[in-house]
Structures are given as C-alpha cells and as structure tokens.
Structure 1
Amino acid sequence: MTDHAVTPWVILLPILLLMIVLIINRELAPLKQMSRALKNRSPDDDTPLDGQRLPSEMLPFVDALNSLFARIGHLLRRERRFVSDAAHELRSPLAALRVQAQVAQLAINKPEVQLRALDNLTIGIDRASRLIDQLLTLSKLDAEESVPDPTPVNWQRIIQDMQPLFFTLAQKNDIDLQVNYQGNPPDSQGNSLLLSLLIRNLVDNALHYTQKGGFVRVTLSNNAFTVEDNGPGVTQEQLTRLGERFYRPPGQIKTGSGLGISISKQIADLHGLQVTFNHREGGGFIATIMINQR
C-alpha cells in the first residue's frame, strides 16, 4: 500500500474513533442520567421512570422497573395503613385495660371490686386479641392477589364442621338457630380456611347482634349461602356503608371493631364471589353469598 493510500486513513481514523466515542456517549447519556437518578432515589419513591429518551431496546427493562416500583409503593402504602389502623384502634382498648388494671391494684381491700375489675380486664384482653387477629387477617388479605393454596371446596362439609360451634354460641345467647340444606353447590377451587372464616363471620355477626329469644336461619342452596336474622337491622344509609373498615352503625350496644364484614367482603372478592346485605321483610338482616358466580 502506497503512502498516498495510507495517508487518508491516518487522518480519518482518529476522526472516526472520536465520532464513535461521541455517538456512544450521546446514546448512553440517558442511561447514565437514569443511573444517577436511581442512586439518589428515595426508598419510598414510586414515581415511574421516564423512558422517552432511552433506546427502544431498554424500554422493556424500564417498564419492568416501573412495575416493580408500583408494587413496592402499593406494599408500603398498605403497611402504613395497617400501622395507622392498628395504632388508632388499639389506643382505646389498651387505655381501658390500663384503667381496669389500676382499679384492680387499688381495690386490694375490696375483693368484689377487684374481682369485677379482673373480669373486665380479661374481657378487654380477649377483645384486643380479637382486634389484633382481625387486623393481621386484613393485612394478609391485602397482600393476596389470588386465592392462596386453592383446593376443591365442599360448602356443605365446611358448614357441617362449624355447626357445633354455631349451636353452642346460639344456646349461650338463647337464640333459635336453624341450619337448612336445600342443596349443595358443586365443588369449586378455593381456600377452605378463608371460606370458613367468611361463613363464620356472617353467622357470628347474626348471632352477636340478634337479641335473646330471636332466631337466625342459615341456608345453603345450590347457588347461594344465606344468613338471616330478626335482629334490629340497620337503616338504608347504614346498609350502604357496611363493609367499610372500622365502620359500625351508630347506637350499637354490642361490642365490635367493624372489621368482620370488611374481612368477609375481601375473602369473597378474592374468590370471585358476591356478598350482598339486605333488610329482611318483617325486620332484621340478610347476608347472602352468591356462590356460582364464575
């Protein structure tokens, strides 16, 4: 190769290399900028990344990161709500427990007063324990996007397994409880433990709020599970708010946290079931689970 042929390459090669470096730096600039943004990003920042200036080959990676940020943001908001709910709802029962403990300490020379305070303390501890269990259940359900550990579910068997518990509670409260099997829905995929909790919450709710001497009817048909009672019921306005967390209709004498129906609705939603609440003709309340919805 002659000097005349080599000379242009000697001149052009550095220019070409410089142009290549400049082009690579220009193309990689958005990536470097994103890298700096990610390094300085707040742990709870779920703002989506802007991938408009990035090469098209990087867009799937950016979309995956944005999806991850969205899930983490949802998780953090859920955990904050759980902590806030727990702190708010536990404040009152813990204060009441402290008062009863102080009464028991001061009533050393008054056995009857001390015994009453200790009984109230035990009842308060049971209520606080139930509230904590319900809050933990809500937190767990919030984290589920589909039914965990699904297995074939037989509704009649689930109800039959819980019948002794229901009749014991009904007898304790002097309530006439009837369980009617008018059919048996086909086995479907679901979580038996969660569905048992759904059924128990609805039946417990009816037995809890029905006055002594009242009745509760539990009915299973081919496509629905129904719980009806002749208790005090609720107004139409209150009916529309049932299921809101910590909501309890005004004027309730019976104790409760307002979480039972919320948990029931979440379990039903997770299984693709519909739960409805209505007034009972003649007074009372009806809760219905439509089973064959999918």
Structure 2
Amino acid sequence: FHFAPSISLGAKGFHVIKEEADREAAEERKKFATLEKKGIIAQLGTIIAHEAKQPIATLTNYLQIFKMYLDRKNDNDAFSKDVFENMENQVSRLNTLVNSVRNFAKQKQNPQVKTDLVLITQKAIRNLEATEPDIEKVKISFNSKLKTALVLADPFSLELLILNLLRNGAQEAGSNTAKGSPILKVELSLSNDNKSFILLVENSGKLMTDKDLSRLVSLGESVKPDGLGLGLSIIRGIADLHGADLGFTGRDKGGVIASLRIDQLHV
C-alpha cells in the first residue's frame, strides 16, 4: 500500500486559506450584485425608452409648428434659425438613442454598414462640444494621418461609444486642473499589420492606481464615486458587437489612455 504524505498547514496556513476563500466569495457576491443592479437598471431603461417615445414625438411636432410660426412672421433671423436647428438635431439624436435602446431590449441589432471612422470621430467631438457646457476649458485635439478609415459598423452605436470615451475623458481632465491645462487628445492611426484602425483617447487627470485600472476592465464597476458603471458596460457591449478591442492604460503624468482597435473594411 502507498500512502500520500500528510500535509500539515497549521493554524496560520488554515487562516491564510480561509482569508483567500473569503476574498473570492466576496468577489463573487460583488459580481452577482453588479449583475443584479445592471438587470434592474436595464429594465428601467427599457421602460423609460418606451415611455419617452410620446414626449419626443410631441417635441418634434411642436418644433415643426414653431418653425412654421416663425416662417409666417418672417422673423426667422440667424439666431432663431441656429437655435431651432440645434434643438431639432438634439431631439433627433434622442429619438435615435431611444430606438437603439428599444432594439437592444428586443435583441435586435441595427444593421452594420460601411462607415468612415474619421467622420464618426469628428462628429462625436462636435456633439461633445455642443452638449457639454464646461468643455471649453478642456483643450481638445484630433490628430489623424488618415483621410478615411472605413469600417463595418452601426454608425450611431459607434459614435455613442466614442462620445462616451470623450465625455469621460473630458470630465476627468476638467475636474483635475492642478497640474496645468486639462487636455483631451484623440488620435487615429492604422495598425502595423494594416488590418485594423486604432483610436486613442488620452486625457489628463489624477494618477490611476492598479485598483482604478482594474475597475475599468472589471464587470460594470465605475471609477467615479457617484457612477453606476453602466457607461463602461455599454461601450464594452458596443465594442463586442463590432468585434473591436477596448483597453485602458494609465498615463505617467496622470490620466487615462483608452484604446479602441477595430478591423479595417477592405473594399
């Protein structure tokens, strides 16, 4: 007969094993709690998207009535025209967003079509500047050596992903101005193997700890004290639908570099 050698852990060894087991159990509970939270908020989001259709339709109708009223009064000056167009564009964007949420809830995907990543990124930057009141204090730069960058994508979802990265970067840069002017750099390039495009969104900000970075790539946990973590979950989901890779690294001087790698469409 052969007997396996006995292993004596001692009180200290058992204590270490128990601590490790407790830690793993706590992590699992945390993941399940996050999933439950996301499920509840997803249901609320579906309800809100459904109920928002009527108010959006009403706003659209009133905008058209207001436009007709100005035309009849011949009082359609440049300022009024600009305000009206901005309102119309934002209501249209809201309507598209609501439709996307409803499609997601029904497990329906918007069709992916030939999309220019350069134009989508520029549009996201313009929308950021139009919707963020404090964005003027953040210096935004966009650098692309590519005139076009064709990918297969749902244009609105891809813009939403990029806009989310830009907004998070701008808010982080704008709230941490102790080390100079806040910056938000956006760069688009072709990968070394010429198979994909790489979009980098770099923002200044606080020094990120290993824990902060791990939370960025974990399941739906926000690095913001008042955040729900849903923004990151949404953009990860959009990246997955496009077969894209999304990553985050810390900057040596503080802040984050978000990278999106998406396959090039060869036509």
Q: TM-score range by the shorter chain?
A: 0.5 to 0.7
Task: Report the identity percentage.
Answer: 24
Give the CA deviation at 1:176: 1.1
1:129-180 superposed Cα distances (whole Å, 9 cap, x missing partner): x9xx89x849927935xx5311101001112223323335385451111111
Alignment partner of 2:172 out of 205, 209, 216: 209
Tell me how far apart the structure 2 counterparts of residues 87 and 189 of structure 1 sit (CA, whole Å): 29
1:219 corresponds to 2:175: no
The residue correspondences of 1:3-42 to structure 2 (distance < 5 A) are none
Q: How high is the TM-score relative to the length of structure 2?
A: 0.53
Residue pair 1:141, 1:266 contacting (<8 A) in 2 also:
no
Which ranges of structure 2 fall in alignment gaps of 5 or more residues? 1-34, 46-93, 191-196
Task: Pick one of 80, 104, 107 that aligns with 1:140.
Answer: 104
Please name the residue that 1:261 is paired with.
232
Structure having the higher Rg: 1
2:212 aligned with 1:235: no
Identify the residue that residue 36 of structure 1 maps to in structure 2. none
- Alignment gaps of 5+ in structure 1: 1-78, 90-129
In 1, distance between residues paired with 2:238 and 2:209?
25
SS at match of 2:263: coil
Alpha-carbon distance, 1:86 to partner: 5.3
- Classify the secondary structure of the residue corresponding to 1:143: coil
Q: Is the 8 A contact 2:204 2:255 kept in 1?
A: yes
In the superposition, relative to structure 1, how do residues 81 and 229 fare at CA in structure 2: closer, same or farther (>3 Å)? Answer: closer
Q: Using CA pairs below 8 Å that are at least 6 residues apart, which structure has the higher relative contact order?
A: 2
Matched, 1:247 2:221: yes
Judging changes above 3 Å, is the alpha-carbon distance between structure 1 residues 282 and 138 closer, same or farther for their aligned structure 2 residues? Answer: farther
Distance of 2:102 and 2:212 partners within structure 1: 22
1:166 aligned residue: 128
Counterpart residue type for residue 235 of structure 1: T
Q: What amino acid maps onto 1:158 in structure 2? A: I
Contact 1:243 1:262 in 2 (8 A): no
Structure with higher strand content: 2
Given the two structures, how large is their TM-score scaled by the length of structure 1? 0.48
* Equivalent position to 2:245, from 266, 270, 274: 274
CA distance in 1, matches of 2:262, 2:112: 16
Deviation at 1:87, TM superposition (A): 7.9
Task: Give the AA of the match of 2:256.
Answer: F
Over aligned residue pairs, what C-alpha RMSD do you find? Answer: 3.5
Q: Deviations over 1:238-276 (max 9, x none)?
A: 312325455123xx46x4322111111111111000001
Deviation at 1:291, TM superposition (A): 2.0
- Alpha-carbon distance between aligned partners in 2 of 1:229 and 1:277, rounded to the nearest angstrom: 11
Tell me the number of residue pairs that the alignment of Structure 1 and Structure 2 aligns: 168
